[in-house]
A and B are shown apart, each in its own frame.
Chain A
């Protein structure tokens, strides 16, 4: 039993060293500069995959592998998220008990606005995601909030994403130190290793997109949230951004935080901001 622990430690420190050596040369920066970060982030992927069209990055694994792309196009002919989309449309139009609807909570009636989420709420001083805003709208109208990882939330966000399809991601960072801090916190979360596997989001989605992890092809981090929410064949059901974060954590054997925890809201803020300009392609179908 003691030998096993040393084995664990050996692999842990070896992994730490191995990844540190192969990662891109870096120098610590102090001032938070989202604009430069976003440019560097996008250029990293554009140079690493020169023949992938910029807007194709939002197709995740399918931008990385032809055989997978063909299976995807086959699915997209009559996509499995069709039911969630219709359910979301119906829910969006059904008034709450008090007669109001989601349209009353959102600018432009909630149509074609998904590309502006998440946004930084200066009153609250925190990032507000689309899923959070939907539940707050429900609670403001006397309805019970939906689970962040279940189908109802996925159907609503699927419909809202659908109404924004093709529009470029357009996340704003106001000149507010708390917003810059949220961006930085999200970036830190993205690069921090966790779980017994000792992986960070970057270990898979920056170090080795396009490569296989068993049967799956890893998606590039650039534009990885543009297709959300996604119907995953693995779950044979819809998955919101919250569900994806929670399951990714447990895969690396890290205990997940509660959905819409600050860290998750900030990492969604970071990932969406660096994908500014790339089109919204949700809802998506994924392996």
Chain B
């Protein structure tokens, strides 16, 4: 199954811009389904981006992050071809990880 993480990392000069879109329901636990039962909270808590063995960005998320969450940031010190490792864990112990080459 394709990874739940879509990522685009493009380097221009020393700055690499990273965009990530993650397939995840991000349920708040405050919503009821059509039958009136509460949909339990199910959301990504931590999302980590590592490059060349160092954390370049760490996101701690709450229930207010949108469904299929999106995040964009940039960092210095990497170049085209370097590998970016992305991994997330959610409040139910679910997780996923993927790697992407910087274009």
Contacts and interface: CB of A to CB of B under 8 A. Distances in A.
Touching chains A and B, CB distance < 8 Å = yes
Interface of A: 77-78, 80, 82-83, 86, 90, 236
Interface in B1-38: 2, 6, 8, 19-21, 23
Nearest to A233: B66
A78 B8 CA distance: 9
Nearest to B67: A236
Contacts of A78: 6, 8, 19-21, 70, 72
A77 B72 contact: yes
Contacts of B96: none
A257 B63 CA distance: 37
Contact of B19 (A77, A86, A90): A77
B55 interface: no
Nearest to A79: B21
Nearest to B23: A83
A82 B19 contact: no
9 contacts: A77-B19, A78-B6, A78-B19, A82-B6, A83-B6, A83-B23, A90-B2, A236-B67, A236-B68
Interface in B22-60: 23
A83 B23 CA distance: 7
B34 to A, nearest CB: 13
B98 to A, nearest CB: 14
Given A78-B21, A236-B68, 18 more contacts: A77-B19, A77-B72, A78-B8, A78-B19, A78-B20, A78-B70, A78-B72, A80-B21, A80-B68, A80-B70, A82-B6, A82-B21, A83-B6, A83-B23, A83-B68, A86-B2, A90-B2, A236-B67
B61 to A, nearest CB: 16
Contacts of B2: 86, 90
Nearest to A236: B67
Contacts of B8: 78
Contacts of B21: 78, 80, 82
B59 to A, nearest CB: 15
Question: 4 nearest interchain CB pairs?
Answer: A78-B21, A236-B67, A78-B19, A83-B23
